Chains A and B, each alone.
Chain A
Amino acid sequence: MVKKWLLLSTLFLLVALPAKAETMDLQQLIDATPAGGELQLQDGIYKGSFRINKPIKVIGSKNTILQGTAKETLLQIENSNDVTLENLQLKTAKTGIAVKKVNHLYMSGLKLTSMYSGVQLNYAEDVEIAETIIQGIDGHYSKKGNGVAAFNSKRLQMNGLQINQVQDGLYIENVSQIELQNNVIRNSRYGIHFMYTENAKAIENKFNKNVTGIMLMMTKNTDLQRNEINEQNGLNGFGVVLFDGQNIDVEGNVFQSNRTAISAQKLQRSTMKENRFQMNQSAVELIRSNAENSVIENDFIGNIVNLRSDGSETTIQHNYYDDYDGIDVDDDGIGDCSYVALQSFGQWMVRQPAYQYFVESPSVVLLNEMDKQTNAIETDQLVDEKPRMMSLQSVEQPQKRNIGKIVIGIAIVLSGLWLWRREAAI
């Protein structure tokens, strides 16, 4: 009889444990953990809204779920140092994680779903967010918030984030020293939206099917390097917009199939170097930008319009243009006559974007041919006096010899000869 009761009790406990997690008050567990301590959470659903205001590590398991309501913030972290969050799934909230006045925050392995906005940082310093998934809600981007929004903060790092279907993937306002690397942002309004930011780096990120890949506004001393910016090709689509920026280096990026790859407006002392512009409607447009900018050593391949401007002067040099029809008699890799990118129709498109829909019409093709004739005497606007004859890719990647294939080829030829000789001998 006693054994039977023991067996029943054990079975009851085994069944009841997950239920205990479901109803567990996470706030009590946080409060019970001493400052500087570590809170290991079991698999289960922790419902409610929670607050952290002391140094603590909160480490989840494979299926640790924090669940809130659509009207409030799920997790608030305020007035604290040294907070770590790992392996947590956050579901259903107005804002997933709201951070205010926190130093040394590390978040990794998080998954945020079904919420208006993901993470908000205010007055935060030394924050790293890594390997985190943020999946926005359905609907138009005007009806939802940002993936990660950072305001008035310093020394931030965001690496390996996957953000989909939000307003702005990463909204960065009044932040200094921020590094954004290996993030993938898709189907949103802007991939990264910089406002009043200094000393930022966006490196090796991927942007796909957003309205604009990177929207950079009133920002200084920023590097955009080796990013892949593809298919921002909607009605108002841009790969990158540089609006009122200073000392911006756009280097080594790939822009493919965007409506306009780079639109530079009121840009100063900035460089676009070693980028590949491939199959965009317009590659680079320069509006109200000053003469200290430079567009150098880029590849322009398969774009409808390579360069256009409203008269803004810019240093344009050593680029490769696939429609350049000059020759290189002295074989120095530089064309012997200038490349002139001036296209009457391209210029009109700057002023009236709706003209883009006539871009391959017979009259526009004829106009472009007439431009080519008149451009021979243009020496001022959109002129590259030293166009390269080869693209960066073909220069940098010399033809590799595949030893394996050569050996197989020789073997086939020798076998053929041997068979032929043998047949001849018979």
Chain B
Amino acid sequence: MKMRWILLVVMLVAMLQACGNKEYKPREIVSETDVCEVCNMSIVHEDYAGQIALKNGDYKMFDDLGCLVEYMEDMDNDNLGQAFIKDGGGKDWVDVKTASYVYDKETWTPMSYGVIAFKSEGAAKDWMSEKKVGKLLSFADLEDFKWGVHH
């Protein structure tokens, strides 16, 4: 009898854990219809795009990292599933909280904020040494970053 109870508890814990570990995946950009949630710009430069997967299954799309960060600052964190940004090569989606960032005033982005994301700190440093420009930033740095005032 005791064994049965233990088994039941273990199964319930496993079920609850499965519910809690929902995996969020980025979705494809649809240039014809996707617009930035913050600035209304059409998302035509996919290499700089970002998105937030909400817990309710909806997605919020952004044309530039700056718009995504602005939206995250204002949103209710309880609704946030996972936020993604395209890495510097524009191929892969990376988690905004684990990505590394480089700011360079002359680097073009759709909102001309000049901040681009990389999968890892190493990739960011490689880009900086190749281009000989840029300042390394973390996600925490972005929360205080003054978007759009560098022009």
- The chain A residues found within 8 Å of chain B, CB to CB, are 140-142, 167, 173-174, 189, 195-196, 211-212, 215, 217-218, 235-236, 238, 241, 243-244, 263, 265
Cross-chain contact B31 with A140 (CB below 8 angstroms):
yes
Whether B151 sits at the interface, judged by CB under 8 Å, is yes
Give the docked Cα–Cα distance between A265 and B41 (Å). 12
Whether B32 sits at the interface, judged by CB under 8 Å, is yes
Given contacts A196-B112, A217-B111, contact A236 B33 (CB under 8 A): yes
Cross-chain contact B32 with A140 (CB below 8 angstroms):
yes
Which 4 A-B residue pairs are closest in the complex by CB-CB distance? A142-B44, A142-B31, A196-B151, A236-B35
**Interchain pairs with CB closer than 8 A, number:** 42
Cross-chain contact A141 with B44 (CB below 8 angstroms):
yes
Give the docked Cα–Cα distance between A236 and B111 (Å). 18
Q: How many interface residues does chain B have, given as a range?
A: 10 to 19
Cβ contacts under 8 Å, B82 to chain A: none
Secondary structure dominating the interface of B: loop
Give the docked Cα–Cα distance between A156 and B7 (Å). 77
Which residue of chain B has its CB nearest to the CB of A189? B42
Cross-chain contact B44 with A195 (CB below 8 angstroms):
no
Q: Could you jot down 18 A-B contacts, CB within 8 Å? A: A141-B42, A141-B44, A142-B45, A142-B46, A167-B44, A189-B42, A195-B112, A196-B148, A196-B151, A211-B42, A217-B39, A218-B148, A236-B33, A236-B40, A236-B42, A244-B148, A263-B40, A265-B39
Cross-chain contact A189 with B112 (CB below 8 angstroms):
no
Give the docked Cα–Cα distance between A195 and B44 (Å). 16
Which residue of chain B has its CB nearest to the CB of A263? B40
Give the docked Cα–Cα distance between A244 and B41 (Å). 13
Give the docked Cα–Cα distance between A174 and B111 (Å). 12
Query: Shortest Cβ distance from B28 into chain A, in angstroms?
Result: 13
Cross-chain contact A243 with B42 (CB below 8 angstroms):
no
Query: Shortest Cβ distance from A151 into chain B, in angstroms?
Result: 9
What does the 1/0 interface line of B10-37 toward A look like (CB < 8 Å)? 0000000000000000000001110100
Cross-chain contact A238 with B40 (CB below 8 angstroms):
yes
Cβ contacts under 8 Å, B32 to chain A: 140
Cβ contacts under 8 Å, B39 to chain A: 217, 243, 265
Give the docked Cα–Cα distance between A218 and B110 (Å). 13
Give the docked Cα–Cα distance between A241 and B35 (Å). 13
Q: A211-B42, A236-B42 are in contact. List 8 more A-B contacts (CB 8 A).
A: A140-B32, A141-B44, A142-B44, A142-B45, A195-B112, A212-B40, A236-B40, A265-B39
